[in-house]
Amino acid sequence: TYLFPIILSAFFGVLLPKVARFTELSQFRQYIKSSLKVSFVFILLFFPILFFAEEFILFLFSEKYQNTTHIFQLLAISKLTYAVSMVLHISLVSMNKPHIIAITDFIKLMVFIGGCYLTIPLYGEIAPAIVTCGLEFFAVVFLLIYVFSHLKKEKEVFHDDVNKQE
């Protein structure tokens, strides 16, 4: 589960400078559409791991960890949403709105702490995985709505401060 974010972070480092040079809103819309398509293909490629999680865990570890399959599956789902999240993070940075990422991550942290505090006594060791999976899903939905609502505007929605200074 650590390899997936590393690969996506590498794409982030490569794509951000390219997206930052966009000057037309149409270029930005095309990037979002094509990147989301690629993200969904990437998700589909890794999706089978969810069905073979038990075999995967037995292969890598041992029968001792067989009861962690559900936790692994939930955390894998939350990591799969990371593919969409990275596209949206690049978009928000290019829109000169990195504060939206920071606010979203801070809220996720606070809800995670509170959610774990409330759910661990009820559900045990699977509770943090459930909370993480839910938070990642709702954060991606929020960011999708935010980015697409800004893309519907007819005026330029990114590089506002940078273009005015040049």
pLDDT digits 0-9 by tens, 22-53: 777 777 788 888 888 888 888 888 888 888 88
Which residues does 117 contact at the CB level (< 8 Å), separation at least 6? none
What pLDDT was estimated at residue 130? 94
> Alpha carbon of 20 to those of 5, 90, 159: distances in Å?
21, 9, 8
* Phi, psi angles (nearest 5°) of residue 2: -85, -25
Other C-beta atoms closer than 10 Å to the C-beta of 73 total 19
Is the pLDDT confidence value at 131 over 50? yes
Helix 53-60 and helix 69-94: axis angle, to 10°?
A: 100
Mean of the per-residue pLDDT values of the chain: 82
Helix 25-46 and helix 127-151: axis angle, to 10°?
A: 150
- List the structure tokens of 32: 């979002």
Is the pLDDT confidence value at 159 over 60? no
